[in-house]
Amino acid sequence: MGINSKEIESSSDRVLAIVQKSHKAAIKLAQISGSKRRLGILAIAEAIEDSGDEILESNTIDLEMSREMAIAEPIADWLKLTPERLETTVAILKRLSQAADPTRRLINAPYQLEPSQTYCQLVPLGTVALIYEAFPELAAIVAGLCLKTGNSLITRGCSTASNSNQTIASIIQTALASTELPSGTFESISDLGISVQELVTQDRYINLVIPYGRPSLVQQVAEKATTTVLRTAMGNCYLYWSQSGSLELTRQMIVDSHDGEPDAVNAIEKVLINQEIKPSLLQSLFNNLQQSGFKLRGDDALVEQFPEFLSLMKPQEWSKPYLTKIVAFRRIDSLSQAVFWINRYSSGHADSIVTKSYQEGRQFVQGIDSALAYINTSPKFSRIPEEGSDVFLGMSNQKGYRQGLISVETFTTIKQIVQG
């Protein structure tokens, strides 16, 4: 199903041939029944399940090379596949196969064009491009999301995971070759020497680009792309500990939010503490978090007050994710000041409050400019929640239709139908 790169001389010719092939596949996929696309998802799930040893062997090679390259800590964690991560990938694909076909869903139109009847239907986007950093299993997960919604997919992984990416791509392509789905349904360009810019400027054929990884990758793709980009967000989530908020609930929310595997997308990394919170409560929190393996930081005032727990943070850290078990603290005068601080520095995709006041909770929700607001509950992210039938790729802080959790519906668009 792949393109033979030896037959095409220049990278620009290679990328054009691939995106055209994928575009043609997307047109056919939009007409193929949900039951046939479901069989494609199951074929990928079964292939990943049967090829676990092969995938882990390739991943071991990548891990050994990454140690020699001394890559950053979060990348090393994201790169390392385990049997459990592969089992989760298979479970996600199987859940997707069982879900209802979203492209058959009719929804009410926000207006009516009299005298005709107006309604809307979810339809596929077309061709999706995934550019991802480490996370080798994402190719299979996004392939499942795209098949569920009738889209074709082109993937470009990072060089750090080259062996894992190639193995998984080959497994996916072999699995799909045994189905009735069109050639070009899934394409991987990770090993073809095609640059990010060459891919994301194919706006004639690619309908959505999803960059997944550190903020630097997301920004790079957003700046270079000429087609629609779905910005993903990770880390740098804030929590405001209100005067009435519980110490134990604050502790639970912080710890639980970092428990996402392998990427704690909604990890609470910054905590704003109301001035009225007693020092004894802070000491208890700091001590507990430190014993749980967290590294703690704070502003000048808190570091001076609790030098045995906190190290001094730099001002620019307030707007940057740590993507590891680090939490920074700052005292704040009021809820309104906390909202101002969060809107200024947060990543804007998942922020929280601990409070016993209903009014404070409502004021927080109305004030923060975040995709998701959590009141007295952990913002922990899971791709396959224990309850329900949903599957999520990640989170987006992008304004508009696709803000928030990246779900199956994110891979669709709305067609408006006016019937006389």
> Domain coordinates of the chain in residue numbers?
5-232+393-419, 237-375
Beta strands in 316-363 (DSSP E): 326-332, 350-354
Q: What is the pLDDT of residues 105-130, one digit of tens each?
A: 898 888 888 888 899 999 999 999 99
**Per-residue pLDDT tens digits for 337-349:** 999 999 999 999 9
The helix/strand/coil state of 72 is coil
Question: What's phi and psi for 137, nearest 5 deg?
Answer: -75, -10
**Domain spanning 237-375 has what CATH number?**
3.40.309.10
For tokens 């908020």, name the residue.
Answer: 245
Using a pLDDT cut of 70, give the percent of the chain over it. Answer: 98
The confidence score (pLDDT) of residue 123 equals 96
| Alpha-carbon gap, residue 265 to 259, rounded angstroms | 10
- Please state the pTM of the whole predicted model: 0.93
Give the burial string for 337-349 (b: 16+ CB within 10 Å, else e): ebbebbeebbbbb
Alpha-carbon torsion (62, 66, 72, 76), positive or negative = positive
Q: Please report the pLDDT score of residue 11 as a whole number.
A: 76
pLDDT at residue 401 in the model: 67
* 271 beta partners: 239, 329
Copy the structure tokens of residue 306: 């609790």
Q: At what angle do helices 83-98 and 138-149 cross, to 10 degrees?
A: 0
CATH T-level topology, domain 5-232+393-419: Aldehyde Dehydrogenase; Chain A, domain 1 (3.40.605)
All residue ranges of the chain with pLDDT < 70 are 1-9, 401
Q: What value, to the nearest 5°, has the Cα angle with vertex 237 and ends 228 and 329?
A: 150
Residue 66: which of 77, 52, 82 has the closest Cα? 77
The whole-angstrom distance between residue 22's C-alpha and the CA centroid of its chain comes to: 23
Check whether the bond before 315 is cis (ω within 30° of 0).
Answer: no
Hey, is 131 helix, strand or coil? Answer: strand
